[in-house]
Amino acid sequence: MIRRALVVGGGIAGMATAIMLRRNGVPVDLIDLDPEWRVYGAGITITGPTLRAFEALGILDRVIAGAHTADGVQVCDVAGEHLSVIPTPSPAGSRVPGSGGIMRPALHKILSDDVLALDTNVRLGITVDEIASKPDAEDVRFSDGTTGEYDLVVGADGLFSNMRARLFPNAPAPQFSGQACWRLMTGRLPGIDRRHYFLGGPVKAGLTPVSPSEMYMFVLENVEENVRIDPATFYRKLSDLLVAFGGPLAEVRAGLSPQSSIVYRPLETLLLPAPWHLGRTVIIGDAAHATTPQLASGAGMAVEDGLVLAEEMQHAPTVEEGLRRFMRRRYERCRLVVENSVQLGRYEVDRAPVEAQTSLVALSLEKLAEAI
């Protein structure tokens, strides 16, 4: 049915899609605007459903080897005292742990190695300049002047997607959530053997182990405006945000310096109205459903998009019907992640009771453990 597919964007969603299409025997061109195909960011948290998606993608053993996994999320108060444990149910029928963390560059290498090993035609430093739909294909002109004809085009080019703007010029823009996320890579402290949340303070903070020797800290700050901050001031501003905390976070704060590996990102969210496809072109991943990090499910939703899209393309009688089936399986699940993450952010801004925050996390993780 598909003679050739184009994937625009070499992030998690794009690579997962390319891997699954290639395994189904579909020739794939994958393009990325970055000529060096770099990855940005620190560690990422991975849930049981995300690990199940990695299992279906065929990379679970390598992820576990390069990550840290454990069940449950330890909830602590501002002083670092243990309050409760949020269960992280493993998906039914799967052998995966309930939770974990991995360095983003490590995950990128695992995925990109498979993309290349499957003889995907990877072209870097280019983007799409024009798409012209025909009854049986999409004609694509690239920024380097070359052209191609494709039965399926997949836009996986991130939150500020050019493909989304091209297909749906009236689509809503990403919305600033009123929060920003600080992330710090640092040495793993004794006792941090699973994900930790620190709730009830002026900000929400957490620690996620990502290897035997490393962990990353996140801090969700309530901010009124999406403004740029001088990176030279990162360590001082992060230190100020942690001043109320004791326990492990006090230890982390004491180690902050100008050399600390800190990433700051204002949080923006997007849920593209259905459908996410037009003709034989579809938008997936953050380009269609960008979420804030409260449920740690962005990577999982991106991989699931690739798994489901490739499966429907393999079995549907036409590309168009495959895209309709894809939407039926994906929209509500992705909506749950985006909307519940936004609600958790509101709880954090409003200093809602710890029980309200943890119960919504537990309910969401239980729902996400269901079959995709």
Cα separation, 248 vs 219, whole angstroms: 13
Inter-CA distances, 202 with 27, 199, 282, 349, Å: 51, 9, 41, 9
Any idea what DSSP says for residue 148? Answer: E
| Exposure of 235 in the CB half-sphere (CA atoms within 13 A) | 13
pLDDT of 297 higher than 90: yes
Whether the ω angle into residue 275 lies within 30 degrees of 0, i.e. cis, is yes
Distances from the Cα of 119 to the Cα of 28, 109, 147, angstroms? 9, 16, 20
Across 7-25, average pLDDT: 98
The DSSP-derived string for 102-139 is: EEHHHHHHHHHHHHHHTT-EEEES--EEEEEEETTEEE
For β-strands 28-32 and 147-150, DSSP reports them as unpaired
Predicted pLDDT of residue 89? 82
Per residue in 122-140, pLDDT (tens digit) is 999 999 999 999 888 999 9
pLDDT (0 to 100) of residue 322: 97
| pLDDT at residue number 143 | 97
Q: Residue 304 forms beta bridges with which residues?
A: none
Domains and CATH numbers, the chain: 5-69+98-173+269-350 (3.50.50.60)
Nearest residue to 50 via CA among 38, 59, 41: 59
Cα within 13 Å of Cα(75), Cβ side: 18
Contact 51, 62 (CB under 8 A): no
Q: What is the pLDDT of residues 50-79, one digit of tens each?
A: 999 999 999 999 999 999 999 999 999 999
- Is a pLDDT exceeding 90 seen at residue 224? no
> pTM score, two decimals?
0.94
Give yes or no for residue 118 having a pLDDT over 90. Answer: yes
